[in-house]
Amino acid sequence: MRVVAKKNGLLAVALMLGLSGVARATPPAQRLPSAIIMYPNVRAEAGFDTRVEMVNLTSRDQEIKCHYLRAPICNGTDFFVRLTPNQPISWLASRGTLGSGGHVGVAVPPFFGQGSLKCFVIPDENSDGSDQNAIQGRATVFGTGGYTESFGAIGIERITAGDFSTTFELDGSTYAQCPDNYHFTFIASEAGDPDTESELILSTCDEDLENLISSTTVVQFQIINEFEDMFSASTTVLCYDRQVLSQINSVFSRDVLGTPTGQVIVRGIQGAVIAVLVDKFVTPDGDAAAVAGNEPALSRGRSARIRIP
């Protein structure tokens, strides 16, 4: 019994020492009602348009402030959307909407070019600040020949209740953090008719639209083929960019990678990034061109700050 008591005591000391470790940063939970939603890809240019969808998942009215960010100038265009309880709303990016059809309090400007969209829930005067996790969204880019790429918005939950501020601290305390690592499975680039050429869409999580300071960051890639061989590559992104995988580095090509698919882990260096992939491949038996949005699995979290006017 004496020995047991001594062991228990030492165990308690060991536990106390162990608990003093640093907690791990975690990525934001997805597909849940959120306070901030980030559409990684909006496109309205020759041959392409985007249907932007947003839905209020609560039984309260919601006031939402949104910002388009257009590349490569990295300027913001803002607007407000007011959603009644459980209301869905959608618009074509190239046309916007002017609140017709009963959408009182909605005026979305047209958008041209490529970029991203971020939307923020503004709690009303009756809110105690705890019910800001309210919305979700999705954007579907479509073009000629059945071209379709669709992505759910990345949701950031408000974690602690509080007043609305135009500076959003995605620090894991006020809001959930931005994802740090993005894990994609990708199809290796390969010449053909048509080519198999997937594209990566990157934007920065940090954003200062109040002072119009564009964020730039190096993005590192860790690539693993099906034989567990590991490669690396990198690129740089200024607020938003869309790059063909094989142009980032030849390691994404089948010849170098050695296998038809691989896993790529994407991570921003100076700051967190938002990343999605557009799979473009040729069907194996029919040689038809196929396109699909490829949403990543997330690991770890990283703090970021967004400032809006």
Min separation Cβ 75 and another protein, Å: 26
Q: Is 216 in the site for another protein (CB under 8 A)?
A: no
Site for another protein in 229-268 (CB under 8 A): 230, 260-263, 265
Q: Which is nearer to another protein, 110 or 172 (CB)?
A: 172
Residue-wise DSSP of 180-216: EEEEEEEEPBB-SSS-B--EEEEEES-EETTTTB--E
Q: How far apart are CA 262 and CA 248, in angstroms?
A: 15
Least distance in Å: CB of 126 to another protein? 12
220 is a site residue for another protein (CB under 8 A)? no
**Nearer CB in complex with another protein: 206/241:** 206
Tell me how far, at minimum, the Cβ of 54 lies from another protein, in Å: 8
Sheet of strand 240-244: strand arrangement: 240-244, 199-204, 273-282, 289-294
Q: Which is nearer to another protein, 31 or 125 (CB)?
A: 31
Would you count residue 26 as binding another protein (CB under 8 A)? yes
First-to-final CA distance of the chain: 67
Strand order in the sheet with 148-152: 88-92, 48-56, 135-143, 148-152
Q: Using CB under 8 A, which of the segments 30-38, 63-71, 108-116, 248-256 binds another protein?
A: 30-38
Positions in 154-213 near another protein (CB under 8 A): 157-161, 171-173, 176-177, 180, 183, 185
Asked if 152 interacts with another protein (CB under 8 A), we say: yes
- The pair phi, psi for residue 38, each rounded to 5°, is -120, 115
Backbone angles phi, psi at 91, to 5 degrees: -155, 160
H/E stretch holding 61:
none
Residue selected from 66, 293, 306, 308 as contacting another protein according to rule CB under 8 A: 293
Token code pair at residue 72: 């490569």
CB closer to another protein, 167 vs 173: 173
C-beta of 27 vs 76, nearer to another protein:
27
Size of the site for another protein (CB under 8 A): 107
Among 150, 216, 220, 250, binds another protein (CB under 8 A): 150
Q: What is the dihedral of CA 106, 109, 114, 116, to 10 degrees?
A: -30
The identity of residue 252, as a single letter, is F
Q: Is 142 in the site for another protein (CB under 8 A)?
A: yes
109, 233, 290, 307: which one binds another protein (CB under 8 A): 290
Which two structure tokens, joined as six digits, stand for 185? 């499975």
Query: Which of 130, 165, 236, 247 contacts another protein by CB under 8 A?
Result: 130
Residue 16 near another protein by CB under 8 A: yes
The position carrying tokens 């060991």 is: 14
